[in-house]
Amino acid sequence: MLSQKTRYALRALFVLGEHKGDGPMMIADVAEQANVPRKFLEQILLEMKRRGIVHSLRGKFGGYALGRKPEDITFAEVIRVIDGPLALSPCASRTVYRRCDDCEDETTCAIRIVLLSVRDATAEILEHHTLAHALLDRKKSTRRRRAT
């Protein structure tokens, strides 16, 4: 399940992506436009800054901006940074693999076999869906709402 923290992170990235090219945004403006509590957003942006997803500039005209192009930021990366691995169980994880304590034989474990398939399918979608895709989807959705 996607955490609220990850939802906030994605919403903040959408705001920063929509303002790309306008220079850095003050955290208060990002928080307001993304409808995210400012204190919580500060923590989220710091985590994403450490991974290069966003960067910050100090000073009067400082703030936050995307650290990379929107097409280079995947949903999978954001989820991993904020929530951790995509896998539902450590034995199915590629990034933090750990054998289950009560596992008798993981090569024949029916649970693990299914969870590996789930992880692969989930990763396939999330690795190929970028911030650029989401921004385009948002733009199309906004146009449709205005047209009705």
What is the pTM (predicted TM-score) of this model? 0.86
Q: Which residues partner with 55 through β-bridges?
A: 65
Q: Which domain holds residue 31?
A: 1-73
pLDDT tens column, 7-52:
999 999 999 999 887 889 999 999 999 999 999 999 999 999 999 9
* Position 24 in a domain: yes
> Does 48 reside within a domain?
yes
Total domains in the fold of the chain: 1
- CA 25, CA 108: separation in Å to the nearest integer? 52
Alpha-carbon distances, residue 126 vs 19, 31, 80, 96, 132 (angstroms): 23, 25, 10, 18, 13
Q: How much is the pLDDT for 57?
A: 87
Q: Is residue 121 part of a domain?
A: no
In whole angstroms, what is the distance from residue 65 CA to residue 42 CA? 13
Residue pLDDT, tens place only, 66-122: 999 999 999 999 999 999 999 998 888 888 888 888 888 888 889 999 999 999 999
Q: Is residue 123 part of a domain?
A: no
DSSP state of 82: H
Runs of H (alpha helix) within the chain:
4-18, 27-34, 38-50, 75-83, 110-128, 131-147
Residue 27 sits in a domain of what CATH number? 1.10.10.10
In a domain, 36, yes or no: yes
Cβ contacts of 119 within 8 Å, gap of 6 or more:
86, 87, 88, 92, 93, 94
| Rg, C-alpha atoms of the chain | 18
Cα separation of the two ends of the chain? 33
CB 58 within 8 A of CB 89: no
